[in-house]
């Protein structure tokens, strides 16, 4: 189990709906693995988040797979939507979204339900929902994920795609909302928020990095008739500063490597925050 205390880093998993238990289990595995790897080891506390008070305790957050429309409606009715936007875009704390979570973190999304859906935002990308088609087109593919280590030097990761979205376009960072995206009828955008200090602004304005792609010629996609578009690759993982999104479900494997990598990123982000605040005070 996790150790909680004053010096523990608290990582929340949004538990309104979906595969939140799976993320917590993999976070525990990842923390074990980190403990055996480095002697100092951070102390971690992993909690389920259903209320603004629980969110307030978190240093970092995961938005799990689930149904993004349901999660966003329940979040709004549970008084969590604005606190989530503040968490990701004002306080700019480390956040990771998988599948539905990636959709919620996108600044713009396509193919949403009639009347659109509320987004949290935080990643300057446009996602295309259910990109590969319906459940019968769901699949898994063993992919090399460059951010986990030297290309080819690491074992491929079993990526599970379930009615998955992809990042269709990387958008230029805007001072306000993604106005050009908003002008398209089929696209919804997230509201704009102002980061509360210089560091938050830096993390929010960082460039979007493409972390992983899948080739449209991948054997996993060869027989999919619904999946037809120009280009030879789909973007399936991105990062912008301390916010990360994957269109697949690392929480549906027994492989904690991505969770380990992400917790290490969280440690770095928390450290950046501490150093910034220290420097800030000394001025």
Partner 1 sequence: MATELPTTNGTSAQDGENTFAVKAGLARMLKGGVIMDVVNAEQARIAEEAGAVAVMALERVPADIRAQGGVARMSDPKMIKEIMDTVTIPVMAKARIGHFVECQILESLGVDYIDESEVLTPADAIHHVSKHPYRVPFVCGCRNLGEALRRISEGAAMIRTKGEAGTGDVVEAVRHTRTVASEISRAKGMSEPELRVYAKEIGAPFELLQETAKLGRLPVVNFAAGGVATPADAALMMQLGCDGVFVGSGIFKSGDAAKRARAIVQAVTHFNDPKVLVEVSMDLGEAMVGINTASELKEGERLAKRGW
Query: Rounded distance, CA 21 to CA 95, Å?
Result: 17
User: Counting contacts by CB under 8 A, is residue 251 touching partner 1?
Assistant: yes
| Min dist. Cβ of residue 90 to partner 1 (A) | 24
| Catalytic status, residue 54 | no
Query: Rounded distance, CA 230 to CA 8, Å?
Result: 47
For residues 166 to 205, the per-residue mask of contacts with partner 1, x marking binding by CB under 8 A and - elsewhere, is ----------------------------------------
Residue closer to partner 1 (CB basis): 124 or 161? 161
Tokens of 50: 């259903």
Question: By C-alpha distance, which of 275, 256, 273 is closest to 23?
Answer: 256
Return the exposure string of 192-230: e unless at least 16 CB atoms fall within 10 Å of the residue's CB, then b: ebebeeebbeebbebebeebbbbebebebbeeeeebeee
| Min dist. Cβ of residue 132 to partner 1 (A) | 11
Count of Cβ atoms closer than 10 Å to residue 281 Cβ: 7
For residues 201 to 230, the per-residue mask of contacts with partner 1, x marking binding by CB under 8 A and - elsewhere, is -----------------xxxxxx-------
For β-strands 233-240 and 243-246, DSSP reports them as: antiparallel
User: Counting contacts by CB under 8 A, is residue 14 touching partner 1?
Assistant: no
User: Counting contacts by CB under 8 A, is residue 281 touching partner 1?
Assistant: no
Query: Rounded distance, CA 30 to CA 45, Å?
Result: 12
User: Counting contacts by CB under 8 A, is residue 118 touching partner 1?
Assistant: no
User: Counting contacts by CB under 8 A, is residue 144 touching partner 1?
Assistant: no
The catalytic residue positions are 99, 249, 251
Contacts with partner 1 by CB under 8 A lie at 15-22, 25-26, 50, 65-67, 69-70, 73-74, 77-78, 99-100, 111-115, 129-130, 133-136, 138-142, 158, 160, 162-163, 218-223, 249, 251-254
């Amino acid at each position: 189990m996790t150790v909680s205390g004053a010096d523990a880093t608290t990582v929340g998993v949004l538990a309104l709906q979906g595969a939140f238990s799976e993320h917590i289990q993999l976070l525990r595995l990842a923390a074990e693995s980190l403990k055996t790897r480095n002697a100092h080891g951070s102390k971690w506390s992993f909690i389920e988040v259903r209320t603004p008070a629980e969110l307030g305790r978190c240093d970092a957050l995961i938005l799990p797979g689930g149904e993004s429309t349901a999660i966003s409606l329940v979040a709004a009715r549970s008084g969590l939507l604005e606190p989530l936007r503040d968490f990701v875009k004002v306080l700019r704390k480390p956040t990771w979204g998988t599948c539905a979570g990636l959709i919620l973190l996108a600044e713009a999304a396509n193919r949403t339900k009639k009347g659109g859906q509320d987004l949290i935002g935080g990643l300057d990308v446009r996602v295309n929902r259910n990109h590969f088609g319906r459940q019968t087109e769901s699949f898994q593919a063993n992919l090399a994920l460059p951010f986990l280590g030297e290309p080819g030097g690491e074992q491929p990761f079993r990526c599970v795609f379930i009615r998955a979205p992809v990042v269709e376009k990387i958008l230029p960072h805007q001072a306000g909302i993604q106005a050009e995206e908003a002008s398209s009828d089929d696209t919804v955008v997230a509201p704009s928020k102002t980061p509360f200090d210089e560091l938050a602004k830096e993390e929010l304005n960082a460039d979007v990095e493409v972390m992983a792609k899948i080739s449209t010629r991948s054997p996993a996609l060869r027989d999919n008739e619904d999946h037809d578009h120009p280009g030879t690759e789909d973007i399936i993982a991105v990062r912008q500063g301390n916010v990360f999104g994957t269109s697949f479900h690392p929480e549906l494997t027994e492989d904690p490597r991505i969770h380990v990598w992400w917790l290490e990123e969280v440690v770095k982000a928390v450290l950046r925050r501490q150093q910034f605040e220290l420097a800030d005070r000394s001025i």
